Structure formats: C-alpha cells, structure tokens
Amino acid sequence: MPILSLSRAALRSRVRPLLALRQMLAVHRQRRLLAQLDDRALADIGLDRVTAQAEARRPLWDIPSHWRNS
C-alpha cells in the first residue's frame, strides 16, 4: 500500500514504533557515552560515578517519561 493512500491514523500507527526505536537507540548511545566519562566530567554535570554507572546499566527500553510521545 503506498504511503500516500494511508489515513493519518494508519500512518501514525506505522511511524510510532519507529520513533520509539529511535528514542531507545538515542538513550542507549547517551548512556554508553555517560559510562565513559571521567570523574571530573561527571562532577561537571552533577553526577558521581555510582549514579552514572547505575544510569548506564538501565535497559534499552527504559526511556525517560518526558521523552515519550503521547
């Protein structure tokens, strides 16, 4: 079925999972980078090593609620 013939609701239902995947991958990438920061960089953003490691270990699908689309 061509995209142009989809209703708005059908299009949203196809796009929403892709947006969720994009968000999960972005969070995963940010958490991986967070885990690589040294103690000085962590202090600059107000985190300690324990907190950063706990955040980095969160699962891929555990994205912040303020990122989720309504």
Residue 8 confidence (pLDDT): 77
Residue 54 confidence (pLDDT): 94
pTM (two decimals): 0.69
Q: How far apart are CA 12 and CA 41, in angstroms?
A: 39
Give me the residues of the chain with pLDDT under 50, please. Answer: 1, 70
Residue 42 confidence (pLDDT): 97
For 37-59, b/e burial (b = at least 16 CB within 10 A) is beeeebeeeebeeeebeeebeee
Residue 16 confidence (pLDDT): 84
Residue 58 confidence (pLDDT): 93
Residue 2 confidence (pLDDT): 54
